[in-house]
Structure 1
Amino acid sequence: MLMTPPSLATTLAEHLATINLSRASNDARRFAAMAVVDTIGITLAGAAEKATLIARRVLGGEGANGDAMILGTSLRTRVLDAVLINGTAAHAVDYDDMARSMGGHPSVPVVPVVVALGEQLGSTGAQVLEAFIIGYEAECRIGRVVHPHHYEKGWHPTSTLGVFGAAAAAARLLKLDVEKTAIAIAIAASSASGIKANFGTMVKPLHVGQAAHDGLMAALLASEGFTANPGALEHKQGFLQAYDGLDQVHPERMLAERDTLEVEQPETGLKQFPCCGSTHPAILAMIALAEAEAIDPAQVTALHIRMHRMRLPHTDNPDPQSPLGAKFSLQYVTARALIDRHVGLADFEGDAYRQPAIRRLLAVTSIDAFPDKEDGNEFAAHVKVDLDDGRVLTGEAASAMGRGPRDPMSDVEMWRKFSDCAVSVLSPEQTRAAFDSLQRLDSEIPIRDILAPFAITLAAGQTR
């Protein structure tokens, strides 16, 4: 008698069940902790963004009380609401980490869940870290199945796949068994959403808040006995068919390289610039060229950028009309890199995108894609600068997946980014205390105690 093979959700849940913090390598634990700290930092940076403030008002977060902190504020609210608000904030400034296997930003759908649920459950820092690794693993493993078609079709993987990471992470904190974890994944399949047409608007960070919220909801429902079809991923009318088509996906890839955790794969890393990750190779190429050749921006008569075709549909924005739009303008960020030799948070505030020197460069900037025979590296970039003295300068970057396990950011670099992100909501003293406290994440200290320095105490009548 033939045995029916387990569903993809069950196979993934069985794989996740074999992972625990004590068996993770030191590199995996260290980079996972760095990713959590980094994500909390960028959540602080996004706490005062308009998208976050609107989400907070709509959810009634201003006057609510609950178990979970709304980061960057003096408020606490219901866990599900905190997850949606913090998830939106975490993606609002586009400074979050990247993973090639996911095709998106792996930490932002997961960290809001493990932090808020961990607070409610009284989880330790180590338990939160383990759940984060589980969530990261789940979303990236499904990413291996659907990419590159999923991204090219127009889905936003950070949310469409992040919902599975959120569900799996919550399932671990809730101590769900394999069967219920598979059910949580199946429930999450019906909540997966997010289209790239909304990149450059407030909806993009909302995608992440929704993914975190819906993934947590899926795990909570599963924990109470809610039912779903464990075959919801591979069913003829399931997630894979509906979102990509069964002829475009590769289920056999899901557990490839299973002995190496996704969180320690080489093509993953923390962001160095607060804008769309697809633009980073051009930024790096331009900074290197401008510094090496001491380019005077006033001498530039033409600027040309060439990148992989996958990176252009959502970044070809030659005339950005808002700070948010500027984050998705390959032309703007490359021009900014040429002028400043850096791209930072201040470059996406106020009227920075309207500065005359920037507008002059935008007017002489062009882009195109690598020819098909040269487009093997989807994270490569080539830049060419024409000067008024007749010189033509060229530069390139081979890849730009951020600073990952093989080239981690130093403690000084982590502190610099964190403090830059926190400056708008925390005092310098509180920022230092909060950052230092997060260094205790991989420990038996309760996550609520680790987060204690983030609590903002305001004068009577004030709300932040």
Structure 2
Amino acid sequence: MTDLTSVLAAFATGPLSTTEQVRIVASLSALDWLAVGRAGAQEPVARILRDMVLEEGGQGQAHLFGHGAGPLRAAALVNGTVSHALDYDDTHFAHIGHPSVAVLPSALAMAEWHQHPLVDLLEAALAGMELSIRVGLWLGRGHYQTGFHQTATAGAFGAAAAAGRLAGLSTDQMRMALGLTATRAAGLKAQFGTMGKPYNAGIAAAAGVEAVQLVQRGFVANPDALEGPFGFGATHHGAQDAAAALDGLGEEWLLERVSHKFHACCHGLHAALEAARSLDIAEPEVAELKVRTHPRWMSVCNQLAPETGLGAKFSYRTVLAMQALGHDTARLDSYTGAICADPRLKSLRNRISVEADDSLSETQAHLSLLRRDGARREADHDLQAPMSLSTREERVRAKAAKLIGHQLAEEVWSMLRTGGQAADFAARLHTGEE
């Protein structure tokens, strides 16, 4: 039997054999994370968490999104929550989890406090995100379908790995930290649609930091509490084949297949929007548009006639009509009640139909367009289809520019690619708004 925790601990503390490609992908995720976090820094959930931490006081060890600083655990809690507040962060479909929002807040807090250079931060975040994906694969789809939020559960182990690497834990200490995290990892899909969903990401980030800090001080826990008897896998509807989940660890980087969001709406809509891009649909030409999608999305993001901007983010018909009318679906301010009430959008929306197709995967969509001139065109898209690194970089940097401004986006990207201190990156979490 594979000793899962020992393998993960050795990976998290040992030398990493990385490629230039995966390092760029990790840097893009860091840019994306900072951009969506700054953009969400004034959301109600962000204000509530940040105000709570600042009112509690304590040593200001690490920057918070928006303004202020807090203790390491509290900073990880706030920054994990805030960066997931808009649900515009990256997703890995191997286990349906958001790697960056659990791991980067933990890594950044520890890197800032220990005065690490950015290269160390990115290496630790890379290790932590990869580890979270592998744990997610081991837990399996049954864990997610039962109701556990993989961002919070698998993500907590990635957060501990990243923080522990930066804190200089030995392999035995890392095993202990992962075992302790097993008793702290938590998060339910029951919170979806509420402030509890982004809070799940914050819980994961904070749990990782806390476990590492305790182990550093000599705290003793069961190092086998991840996969052992009565452990996390056994009690959380998980525990799949460890050997399969660990296959290629350290040589093959699953993080390379992370999916960055390029539309400010539910990820279930993205394959259809990407397919529509290839059709280059424009409202005057559309007589009829049919969408086929995986059945799971029918109950998630198929609102037929939403009246609010939030509702629009969960509506195939609305977002496709928006795109055809020339609205930028990557911009947060594109989703409004006024858009939903636009007579042109309503007219076009009524020409769009959506149906379930269980032959498609969760990352696929098929579009069939009937033009007014009678011509028919079809397009497919799979979010898991390989994207060239240059295209990914272009689109992530463009998204960041729309969220935080071109100058700041380019400044942060240059910093990530050329080096500097983690503290300089952390300082960019502040928006200047109180």
Fold shared per TM-score above 0.5: yes
The answer to whether the 8 Å contact 1:104/1:158 transfers is: yes
Deviates more, 1:330-339 or 1:37-46: 330-339
Partner of 2:131: 138
Residue 13 (str. 1) matches residue 9 (str. 2): yes
Q: Does 1:379 align with 2:367?
A: no
Asked whether the 8 Å contact 1:49–1:92 carries over to 2, the reply is yes
- How far apart are residue 122 of structure 1 and its match? 0.9
* Cα-to-partner distance string for 1:169-226 (whole Å, 9 max, x where unaligned): 1111111111221222222222333333433332222221121112221222222222
1:6-155 residue pairs with structure 2 within 5 A? 7-20=3-16, 23-60=17-54, 66-71=60-65, 73-155=66-148
- Could you tell me which residue of structure 2 aligns to residue 250 of structure 1? 241
Task: Structure 2 unaligned segments of length 5 or more: list them.
Answer: none
Q: Rate the CA distance shift 1:18–1:64 in 2: closer, same or farther, 3 A.
A: closer
Matches within 5 A, 1:195-274: 195-246=188-239, 249-262=240-253, 264-265=255-256, 267-274=257-264
Q: Which moved more, 1:339-348 or 1:317-326?
A: 317-326
Structure 1 match to 2:403: 421
What RMSD over aligned residues (CA atoms) do the two structures have, in Å? Answer: 3.0
Of 90-99 and 55-64, deviating more is 55-64
Question: Is 1:279 matched with 2:262?
Answer: no
Q: State, as a whole percentage, how many aligned pairs show the same letter.
A: 29
SS in 1 for 2:152: helix
> What's the secondary structure of 1:235's corresponding residue?
coil
Q: How many angstroms apart in 2 are the aligned matches of 1:61 and 1:115? A: 22
Instruction: Show the counterpart of 2:422.
Output: 447
Partner of 2:382, secondary structure, is coil
Matches within 5 A, 1:326-337: 326-337=312-323
How far apart, in 1, do the equivalents of 2:365 and 2:142 lie?
21
- Asked whether the 8 Å contact 1:140–1:262 carries over to 2, the reply is no
Partner Cα distance (2:262, 2:133) in 1:
21
Shift of 1:151: 3.1
Could you tell me which amino acid in structure 1 is paired with residue 356 of structure 2? Answer: A
Flag the 1:408–1:186 CA change in 2: closer, same or farther, 3 A: farther
Given that residues 283 and 348 in structure 2 are in contact (C-alpha distance below 8 angstroms), is that contact kept between their aligned partners in structure 1? no
Q: 1:94 to 1:278 in 2, by over 3 A?
A: same
CA distance in 2 between partners of 1:110 and 1:245 (Å): 21
Normalising by structure 1, we get a TM-score of 0.83
Alignment pair present for 1:343 and 2:329: yes
Structure 2 counterpart of 1:10, one-letter code: S
Secondary structure of the equivalent of 2:355? strand
Q: Closer, same or farther in 2 for the Cα pair 1:211/1:332, shift >3 Å?
A: farther
Shift of 1:25: 1.6
Q: Per the alignment, do residues 342 and 260 of structure 1 end up closer, same or farther by CA in structure 2, a change over 3 Å counting?
A: farther
- 1:399-438 deviation line (CA, Å, top 9, x unaligned): 1249856454345x44432222125xxxxxxx62564244
Q: Could you tell me how far apart the structure 1 residues matched to 2:378 and 2:275 are?
A: 6
**Amino acid paired to 1:131:** A
- Say which of 255, 268, 291 aligns to 1:305: 291
Q: 1:318 to 1:449 in 2, by over 3 A?
A: same
Match of 2:411 in 1: 436
Supply the AA of the counterpart residue of 1:8: L
Question: Contact 1:166/1:211 (CA < 8 Å) preserved in 2?
Answer: yes
- Residue 301 of structure 2: aligned partner: 315
Moved more, 256-265 or 274-283: 256-265
Q: Separation in 2 of the partners of 1:61 and 1:334?
A: 44
1:45-66 residue CA offsets vs partner (Å, 9 max, x unmatched): 1112222122222333697761
Shift of residue 150, structure 1, vs aligned partner:
3.0
Structure 1 residues 324 and 456, CA, compared in 2 at 3 Å: closer, same or farther?
closer
Distance 2:329 2:111 in 1: 34
- 2: CA distance, partners of 1:123 / 1:382: 46
Q: Distance in 1 between matches of 2:349 and 2:154?
A: 35
How many Å apart are 1:443 and its aligned residue? 6.0
Mapped to 2, the partners of 1:216 and 1:199 lie a distance apart of 24
Q: Post-superposition shift, 1:163? A: 1.1
Which residue number corresponds to residue 428 of structure 1?
A: none
Following superposition, the deviation at residue 381 of structure 1 comes to: 0.3
> For the residues of structure 1 that align with 2:18 and 2:91, how far apart are their CA atoms?
20
SS of aligned partner of 1:398: strand
Q: 1:369 aligns with which of 356, 365, 376?
A: 356
Residue-pair matches, total: 433
Structure 2 counterpart of 1:427: none
Question: d(CA) in 2 for partners of 1:112 and 1:404?
Answer: 27
1:279–1:444 Cα change, 3 Å: closer
Equivalent pair of 1:136/1:263 in contact (CA under 8 Å): no
CA distance in 2, matches of 1:64, 1:404: 45
Distance change >3 Å, CA 56–CA 262, structure 1 → 2: same
Instruction: Give the Cα–Cα distance (whole angstroms) in 2 for the partners of residues 393 and 194 of structure 1.
Output: 45
Give the superposition deviation at 1:340: 2.6
Paired letter, 1:395: E
Asked if structure 1 preserves the Cα contact closer than 8 Å seen for 2:31 and 2:413, the reply is yes
Letter in 2 for 1:68: A
Name the residue aligned to 1:400. 383
Is the CA contact (8 Å cut-off) linking 1:40 and 1:90 kept in structure 2? yes
Would the aligned equivalents of 1:272 and 1:403 in 2 still touch at CA under 8 Å? Answer: no
CA distance in 1, matches of 2:81, 2:270: 22
**Residue type at the aligned position of 1:416:** A
Distance 1:69 1:329 in 2: 36
Give yes or no for contact 1:271–1:401 (8 Å, CA) kept in 2.
Answer: no
Mapped partners of 2:99, 2:181: distance in 1: 16
- Which secondary structure does the structure 2 equivalent of 1:24 belong to? coil
Q: Kindly indicate whether the alpha-carbon contact (under 8 Å) linking 1:199 and 1:328 is maintained by their aligned counterparts in 2.
A: no
- Whether the aligned pair in 1 keeps the contact of 2:158 and 2:208 (CA below 8 Å) is yes
